[in-house]
Chains A and B, each alone.
Chain A
């Protein structure tokens, strides 16, 4: 009996001791992009310094978005830090789903964050997500093919320059397509690109009273131009190509040009994966002759803290670590400057070592050329460049994207695709009460 009692007592003691020794642990939801994987690998430094353990939940982008939305909307509390994009940040902040990042310490130096990034991740002037890496879009082209064609790519090309270069570089016999562009349906896939083209042609999604504008002549001109580029100079099956498919084509030397995210620059110039690594040039996203809006987007993968987490302080500490200047230096020291997460801090671009990387300057210029608060030539009631920052966008963007993908596949004409897109966007917006 005595033995039994002492056993119970010692077990209880052991349990108390164990719970005391139980380390604080943060659960972080993120995507499997190279920069995030690097952060995961380097995060032991954070744990060593603070004693805070980290649990990583890495998910496919769409699953992540759905999981995180579901958890935040139901206060599930499964995540202490979540990776979100520039689309979600202002919408979720408005709903009170995110913790404001005002609590970051002074030495975090918020003013060092690129103004466009900070603007895109803020709601009413308060930052709700910290950019982990940022991107715009730009032109990546084959310098060797351009030279062979006797052409030169201007640093600030117009769409006419792009069309001429695409025509000159297309060589079907040798399986070289003049231009590779996104065609796969999705608000973050083809619609991101098509929306930037439309912006640069003077089109807009909605007028100031939220009336859909896809029946405008500007939209028709933009979409026809995009479709012609792909039909005449694009790769076969372009309707199914997203970022990764085009990356593959470009790395294998099948594309003369590729207009896409600036982060692709480090992939296409990496000699381990790319057969054309030493002959890639960069130029700003094009504008239309006579119009001054360029077709570049703005995006950031950012870290945010969901309202309702029990570990706000520790989460803030992690965000402070992962998006700090010191973290950029840590990556540079371990993996070289080319692997530093791009597009977040002004000081990075002032660093002479980083500035010597071939795509650094063009990336910065592209990001600076993007203004999420004034995305179009005519005024609009929304923010966001390659997206419209309203909750309905994911639905209407993807549905419209399917029409444009069908157009690239040759099943619809630009007129038909726009007519259908206009109808479905109008219905959806009416149903949503706009």
Chain B
């Protein structure tokens, strides 16, 4: 009897999980479906679902009109660069907060997080002016730095949580054996925190890849990443949904594939330390 209840419950939970999963995935699915329709089918009412003449026309038009590879390359450099740069700063910072905390560590952590509470547009003009001064407008270097800075609080917080789980005694033992600070972080701490570091890196690549405020505001032609590529397919006068969907699909495909293959690490990393 007890067993049958468990089975029922299990299938119920599975069902709920599937429904939530499908609901969350639906907008992406709809975008992908729309990208294979004609403009007229894309806005048809009632909507067409699967039975239409699938066409690659939108992808052809998008390929022809925009230099996709240049946008893609910019996205890779900016997302990858800001994540690497961020990790170089975040790992030592999280180390010191986790293992040699001072009286003010908690305050610093909170203060860092508070920078995420300011709406980005509030600092648009100061940052824009700084970028003009330093000649950083429309450069990948400038964008890499800004995205690193806006994601840094999240990186440090995530790493701090993982590092807190590692017993300080292990690091002490390493120090007893004569390890310096560099060896301690590079050869002892980092290998133990690999799952946490991996999920921090993945999450930050995703965040930087999808960032659409700074990437649109600080770029023009040369450093524009895929977010600008998507934005260029919306039109004030004329139908554009099918082509916009094709552009969106092309823009999210790389990160979707990366996310799919690394979902195990992501889930493990994100739930690490959640259950004690």
Q: Which residues of A contact B (CB under 8 A)?
A: 27, 29, 31-34, 37, 40-41, 55-61, 63, 66-67, 70, 74-79, 188, 243-244, 247-248, 251-252, 254, 261, 263-264, 267, 273
Residues of chain B in range 193-246 having any CB-CB distance to chain A below 8 Å? 216-217, 220-222, 224, 228, 231-240
Question: Contact partner of B237 among A33, A79, A273, CB < 8 A?
Answer: A33
With both beta carbons as reference points, the residue of chain A lying nearest to B244 in the complex is identified as A32
Residue among B138, B221, B234 with the highest chain A CB neighbour number at 10 A: B221
Task: Please count how many residues in chain B sit with their CB below 8 Å of the partner chain's CB atoms.
Answer: 31
Given contact pairs A59-B228, A70-B217, A252-B44, a sample of 9 additional A-B residue pairs in the complex whose CB atoms are under 8 Å apart: A37-B65, A55-B220, A55-B222, A60-B236, A74-B128, A77-B132, A78-B137, A188-B236, A273-B40
Q: List 11 A-B contacts (CB under 8 A).
A: A32-B235, A37-B65, A57-B232, A63-B231, A74-B129, A76-B128, A76-B132, A77-B132, A78-B138, A243-B237, A244-B238
Question: Contact partner of A261 among B124, B220, B237, CB < 8 A?
Answer: B237
Q: A interface, by DSSP: helix, strand, loop or mixed?
A: mixed
Q: Is A61 a contact partner of B137 (Cβ separation < 8 A)?
A: no
For the complex formed, measure the closest distance between the CB of A252 and the CB atoms of chain B, giving whole angstroms.
7
Please indicate the chain A residues that have their CB under 8 angstroms from the CB of B132 in the complex.
74-77
For the complex formed, measure the closest distance between the CB of B241 and the CB atoms of chain A, giving whole angstroms.
9
A243–B43 Cα gap in the complex (Å)?
A: 14
Question: Contact partner of B239 among A63, A244, A254, CB < 8 A?
Answer: A244
Residue B39 at the chain A interface, CB threshold 8 Å? yes
Please indicate the chain A residues that have their CB under 8 angstroms from the CB of B137 in the complex.
76-78
Please indicate the chain B residues that have their CB under 8 angstroms from the CB of A31 in the complex.
235-236
- Cβ proximity bits B233-274 to A, threshold 8 Å, 1 near / 0 not: 111111110000000000000000000000000000000000
Please indicate the chain B residues that have their CB under 8 angstroms from the CB of A263 in the complex.
237
A244–B221 Cα gap in the complex (Å)?
A: 27
Q: Is B237 a contact partner of A40 (Cβ separation < 8 A)?
A: no
Q: B interface, by DSSP: helix, strand, loop or mixed?
A: loop
A243–B222 Cα gap in the complex (Å)?
A: 32
Q: Is A57 a contact partner of B220 (Cβ separation < 8 A)?
A: yes
Please indicate the chain A residues that have their CB under 8 angstroms from the CB of B238 in the complex.
32-34, 244, 247, 267
Q: Is A27 a contact partner of B221 (Cβ separation < 8 A)?
A: yes
With both beta carbons as reference points, the residue of chain B lying nearest to A273 in the complex is identified as B40
For the complex formed, measure the closest distance between the CB of A253 and the CB atoms of chain B, giving whole angstroms.
11
Q: Is B236 a contact partner of A248 (Cβ separation < 8 A)?
A: no
Q: Is A58 a contact partner of B236 (Cβ separation < 8 A)?
A: no
For the complex formed, measure the closest distance between the CB of A87 and the CB atoms of chain B, giving whole angstroms.
13
Q: Which 7 A-B pairs have the closest CB atoms?
A: A55-B221, A58-B232, A61-B236, A60-B234, A78-B220, A32-B235, A248-B43
A77–B220 Cα gap in the complex (Å)?
A: 10
Q: Is A32 a contact partner of B240 (Cβ separation < 8 A)?
A: yes
For the complex formed, measure the closest distance between the CB of B238 and the CB atoms of chain A, giving whole angstroms.
5
A66–B233 Cα gap in the complex (Å)?
A: 17
Please indicate the chain A residues that have their CB under 8 angstroms from the CB of B240 in the complex.
32, 244
For the complex formed, measure the closest distance between the CB of A37 and the CB atoms of chain B, giving whole angstroms.
7
Q: Is A32 a contact partner of B124 (Cβ separation < 8 A)?
A: no
Please indicate the chain B residues that have their CB under 8 angstroms from the CB of A55 in the complex.
220-222
Residue B45 at the chain A interface, CB threshold 8 Å? yes
Please indicate the chain A residues that have their CB under 8 angstroms from the CB of B236 in the complex.
31, 33, 60-61, 188, 243-244
A264–B234 Cα gap in the complex (Å)?
A: 17
A252–B47 Cα gap in the complex (Å)?
A: 13
Please indicate the chain B residues that have their CB under 8 angstroms from the CB of A251 in the complex.
40
Residue among A40, A59, A252 with the highest chain B CB neighbour number at 10 A: A59
Residue B134 at the chain A interface, CB threshold 8 Å? no
A78–B222 Cα gap in the complex (Å)?
A: 10
A251–B228 Cα gap in the complex (Å)?
A: 30
Please indicate the chain B residues that have their CB under 8 angstroms from the CB of A254 in the complex.
45
A301–B14 Cα gap in the complex (Å)?
A: 54
With both beta carbons as reference points, the residue of chain B lying nearest to A27 in the complex is identified as B221
Q: Is A32 a contact partner of B232 (Cβ separation < 8 A)?
A: yes
For the complex formed, measure the closest distance between the CB of A242 and the CB atoms of chain B, giving whole angstroms.
8
